Amino acid sequence: MSVDLNAGDAPPSSILIERVWPEIDCGRYPVKREVGDLLTVSADIFREGHDHIAAVLRYRRWQDTAWREAEMRFVDNDRWEGAFLLAENTRYTYTIDAFPDVFGTWRDEVAKKHEAGLDVASELLEGRSIVREVLARCDEADRVLIERYLQTHAEASSQVVSVRVLLDDDLLAAVNRNRSRVGASTYQRTLEVIADRERARFAAWYSMFPRSAGTDPIKSATFDDAIAQLPRIAGMGFDVLYFTPIHPIGVTDRKGPNNTLVAGPEDPGVPYAIGSAVGGHDAIEPGLGTLEDFRRLVRAANDIGLDVALDLAINASPDHPWVKDHPEWFYKRPDGTIKFAENPPKKYQDIYPINFQNDHWQELWQELKRIVMFWIEQGVFTFRVDNPHTKPTVFWEWLIREVHLTHPQVIFLSEAFTRPKVMRSLAKAGFAQSYTYFTWRNFKRELTEYLTELTTSEMKEYFRGNFFANTHDILPYILQEGGRAAFQFRAVLAATLSSVYGLYSGFEVCENTPVPGREEYLNSEKYQYKVWDWDRPGNIADYITQLNAIRRDHPALQEYENLRFFGAGDDNVICYGKMTLDRSDIIVVAVNLDPFQPHETSMTLPIDTFGIGEGDQYRADELLSGETYLWTGAVQHVRLDPHVNPAAIYSLRSWTYQEYAEPCF
């Protein structure tokens, strides 16, 4: 830092503020929390010598101009900590002020001298002067209180009484509320935190094609058919219903079943080929119904506790109105024709990607904001964004901030299966949730390493992983090969490793017919209508319902970063747990990762962390089977048969005889 020796008479502050946390990329991006959280902020704060300092955490909602303050406390080794309540669904800014604590220094010194029997007459005059100096900044109540102490001090019968008066804690509190900020140092950056609504952290997503909600295999289902499915979906315990695009589908180069290049006259096309003569991103595919039908669906879903999430897919079919009205928004070949989308060797002849680097980018950005705001007006407050990694991160940062200015309740989910740093940058830019590599993490070591990174590294401050066990694009090999047991234990992993997870429809009936050699569904709903038999033999709908009920009943499973892994001797068995801060809810999960063979092993639990002594008995309620056990000690045995109980979820609590004692007559 350069110092201007001609800047004025007051010397620069000698207080240093360093290593502020949480702070992402030098304050470039906000951290994330939820409404009702306390944001705890810490920093190294120090100065030369031994004089005392004080520090306050300054914060305000981003729409306010006036700052509030929370006192910071000394922790150790020049580390300070403070916190403030995120009371509203909005963004907050925060920073730190530190300044000399003149009265604190004086109190410390005079107390030591007085205790040593030294005469402190001069020091008492100094203390009285410090106290009087704050009067000009006091409100009426503090002024009266301080003047009363000064009068008592003046009338003190001895030096002992005078010292006791000026060292009184009530006087200290009044002085601290009004103390001088001369010599203050302010942290060089103003930081930001997004206080999302709770559903950003705790939710169970159900993904479906609305056109497959009906009973006719050659005709699109309607929004009314989807309304009929709402009780089934909510009944399984889901609280977010995600629809693939509901917009008009293009006709030009329309794909047929299983991605064939030629579509028949009755083939519906891919919903991601958005736009036709009917309209674009603010219109409804006619086969589904009308805009009013959609509004009615949203209301019906909300009435039973379901949020409706829409797919925001920024691409266009060759028939989209944009192609005619804004050809500059697309990529052009040398001959002037528009390029279709490719992900070699895949080709998407029915889809045109958007060129964000065009000369009219401002109009494009504003149009995309208009579209999002349009659907918000229809009651949609959650968006799953398709392939955000193929658009500029700076655009998402701008769009999400613009939306949050007026609608902070909106949640954006990033569907980006791409390079780690790109995925992280999107989360930093404002996406409340992010798809993850969980879909491909199958073995104990890779699950442990990946989840440890997500929940204990800096990523936990900005990246909330939404664990989808499958998607309409991805049928993982573990589900193809592992059968019903794999569907069960992957659901348990997704629902308990993360506090927010998702399943694509068909998961509950264990649909796993693949395109040979690929992680894709044969006869995918992306290319054709589909009718589901939700009562198909072998379905696990009841298992999923039970799993979601367990999540709702246990607060420990509703948190994201409280995950810890425990020892288990068999590499086919993964053991982990979650616990609330007050230990009122302790969950231990054991999962057999082998869908073919039973495995048994010993689990080593950190019972001291749970508040359980080595010789104490404690109760373990296995929530999936309903069995109850009495355990003693850290090491416990578990046997998991993939065809009977591929996973176990234990709720632990201390046990006393009185809990089981029968009444005596």
**Residues identified as active-site:** 386, 415
Helix 140-154 and helix 159-166, axial crossing angle in degrees, nearest 10: 170
The CA distance from 301 to 552, in Å, is 19
CB 41 within 8 A of CB 94: yes
Residue 627 burial (CB count, 10 A): 12
- DSSP states of 588-631 as a string? EEEEE--SSS-EEEEEE--TTTTT--TT-EEEEEETTT--EEEE
Q: How far is the CA of 431 from the CAs of 26, 99, 279, 356, in angstroms?
A: 19, 37, 28, 19
> Cβ–Cβ contacts within 10 Å for residue 167, how many?
15
Residue 420 CB partners (closer than 8 Å, separation 6+)? none
180 phi, psi to nearest 5 deg: -70, 145
Q: How far from each other are the two terminal CA atoms of the chain, in whole angstroms? A: 82
Burial of 75 (0-12, 13-18, 19+ CB in 10 A): exposed
Q: Are strands 307-312 and 352-353 parallel, antiparallel or unpaired?
A: unpaired
Which residue bears the tokens 């020049």?
A: 78
What span, in angstroms and rounded, lies between the C-alpha atoms of 650 and 627?
9
Cα gap 410→382, rounded to integer Å: 6
DSSP line for 579-596? E-TTSS-EEEEEEE--SS
Tokens 């929004």: give the residue.
223
Q: Specify whether the CB–CB gap between 464 and 423 falls below 8 A.
A: no
Only one residue has tokens 């009308």, namely 290
Instruction: Find out whether 402 and 429 touch, Cβ atoms under 8 Å.
Output: no
CA distance 325 to 549: 50
Across-strand partners of 411? 382
- Asked if 469 and 502 count as a contact pair (C-beta separation under 8 A), the reply is yes
Distance (Å, whole) CA 599 – CA 572 = 7
Q: Are 430 and 194 spatial neighbours (Cβ–Cβ below 8 Å)? A: yes
Provide the 3-class DSSP secondary structure of residue 403.
Answer: helix
- Partners of 82 in the β-ladder: 41
Half-sphere exposure of 625 (CA within 13 A, CB side): 16
Query: Residue 457, Cα to own-chain centre: how many angstroms?
Result: 14
Is the link from the previous residue into 22 a cis peptide, with omega within 30 of 0? yes
Per-residue CA distances from 393 to 61, 388, 424 (Å): 25, 8, 10
CB 309 within 8 A of CB 242: yes
Query: Phi, psi at residue 359, to the nearest 5°?
Result: -70, -10
